[in-house]
Structure 1
Amino acid sequence: MIDPIIVINPNSTEAVTEAMSAALDGLRLPGGPEIECLTNPDGPAGIESQADVDQVAVQLRAMVDRRANNASAFVIACYSDPGIYSCREATEKPVYGIAESGMLSAMSRVEKFGVVAILDKSIPRHLRYVRVLGLESRLVGERAMGLGVVELSNEAVAYARLLETGTKLRDLDGAQAIVLGCAGMARYRKRLEDELSVPVIDPTQAAVSNALTNSLLKST
């Protein structure tokens, strides 16, 4: 039996975890590993600042520690990839960050990509990480939709902002693919891709796809 893939929502908003889990249903394969989505009960309502990132890093490592013997892989489902390096120290199992996975998925399909962030203050934090990963030459831009994590559940407002922001990334910045810069945007991926006519990457799906491939290969 294959151990489950543990997908951790670092914030405490259950609605984000539920929407994220629903977006992963297509990856729940017969005979494949369970995809178990967890909420960090001690986290903030949304990861919206460097202080939030720093706070949850220790909490995430503790969550990974508790499941290290009962998991085939871990996914940190926040676009800042909080605590990813300390979580990788805590286990021999693979730990995937959704930002890293999302950008790599985009680059496997196109030359240049853009990112939709939730808030303007998220962008400097994301760009620091892009530079750490050495991917800045492939990023044409990152634009904020101007909504916090909790507000993403307002479908009419959130989708309109996503479409407006994604259109600017495509038409003004030259993005050939769009990466959604928050796990809470997952429910809008397919509709947005259909309207923009460019690939739209849900980074949580990208990270779980990587974890799933690794788990299945190890079982054969």
Structure 2
Amino acid sequence: MPRPRIMVINPNSNRVVTAGLADALKPLSFADGPEIVCETLAEGPYGIESQADAESVVMPLRRAVAGDNESAAFVIACYSDPGLHVCREATTRPVLGIAECGVLTALTRAETFGVIAIAQRSIRRHMRYLRQMGLMDRLAGERPLDMSVAETASGEGTLAKMITVGRALKEEDGAGAIVMGCAGMARHRKPLEDALGIPVIDPTQAAVTMALGAVQFGAS
């Protein structure tokens, strides 16, 4: 019997981000567990940094999910969770968004959480989503790096900025856990957690962990 597959879709067209996701997910790959495959959405913008960028990938994501008859579960690897609900309408298999999973995981680790965003203009979009989830009373704060998705993925000075912003969220805003608010930050989770001394959640790892449970229990 072939191993079940979890398809992780990077909705931007930056393959460096996709490679970073694959590296971050290696600890979740088990010889007898589901296969984890990371793919790049070729039609996507180079980085999803605005509402227009997020809206532009909704239907391409739906087509990707609807046309995939092999994967047992899907993860949309963008912190805006673009197309999450229309993709869920397109299949009976689990579709998970990394923002939703990342925040819910943070709530299991601390009373309050903070979010590191890539840019100031991303925060309004994230806040709308948290209000829809009914979680604003658990949010300590959200602060931006003021970088692009490509810059966060390249690693040039990213970790130092994330530590500075993370310390402000912890010490000034009272965050008990930190959620990294962009899939391109994946490679920085462990060193950031070591520097801050509080749980740091990579939302893609959180979503794939949930997908693993859904697939394994669904097959048992």
Q: Above 0.5 in TM-score?
A: yes
Give the ranges of 4+ consecutive aligned residues of structure 1 lying more than 6 Å apart after TM superposition: none
Give the distance between the partners of 2:209 and 2:19, measured in 1 at CA.
18
In the alignment, the residues of structure 1 paired with residue 166 and residue 209 of structure 2 have an alpha-carbon distance, to the nearest angstrom, of: 24
- CA deviations on 1:102-126 (whole Å, 9 max, x unpaired) are 0000001110000000000000000
Paired residues, number: 219
Among the aligned pairs, what percent are the same residue?
Answer: 52
Alignment of 1:58-137 (within 5 A): 58-67=59-68, 69-137=69-137
Cα distance in 1, alignment partners of residues 156 and 67 from structure 2: 39
SS at match of 2:116: strand
Name the counterpart of 1:25: 26
The CA distance in 2 between the partners of 1:93 and 1:156, in whole Å, is 38
Instruction: State the partner residue of 1:214.
Output: 214
2:40 is matched with which residue?
39
- What is the CA–CA distance in structure 2 between the aligned matches of 1:76 and 1:65, rounded to whole Å? 14
Superposed displacement of residue 160, structure 1: 1.0
* Superposed CA RMSD: 0.8
The aligned runs of 1:9-24 (5 Å cut-off) are 9-24=10-25
State the distance in 1 between where 2:54 and 2:103 align: 19
In 1: Cα distance, 2:154 partner to 2:31 partner: 33
Task: Compare 151-160 and 111-120 and name the one that shifted more.
Answer: 151-160
- Distance across 2 between alignment mates of 1:193 and 1:70: 36
Please tell me the residue identity of whatever aligns with 2:35: E
Paired with 1:134 and 1:2, the residues of 2 have a C-alpha distance of 37
| 3-state SS, counterpart of residue 53 of structure 1 | helix
Alpha-carbon contact 1:2-1:72 (below 8 Å) kept: no
**TM-score, normalized by length of structure 1?**
0.98
Q: Deviations over 1:35-55 (max 9, x none)?
A: 010100011000000000110
CA contact (8 A) 1:2 1:215 kept: no
SS in 1 for 2:142: strand
Q: Which amino acid aligns with 1:89?
A: E
Match of 1:200 in 2: 200
Structure 1 portions without partners, runs of 5+: none
Q: Please name the residue that 2:164 is paired with.
A: 164
| Partner AA of 2:24 in structure 1 | A
Q: 1:134: how far off?
A: 0.9
Q: Which residue of 1 aligns with 2:175?
A: 175
What do residues 180-208 of structure 1 show as CA deviations (whole Å, max 9, x unaligned)?
A: 00010010000000010000000000000
Residue identity opposite 2:31 in structure 1: P
- Alpha-carbon displacement from aligned partner over 1:47-72 (angstroms, at most 9, x marks no partner): 000000110011100110111x2111
How far residue 157 of structure 1 moved from its aligned partner, in angstroms, is: 1.1
Query: How far did 1:219 drift?
Result: 2.0
- Mapped to 1, the partners of 2:183 and 2:62 lie a distance apart of 19
SS at match of 1:121: helix
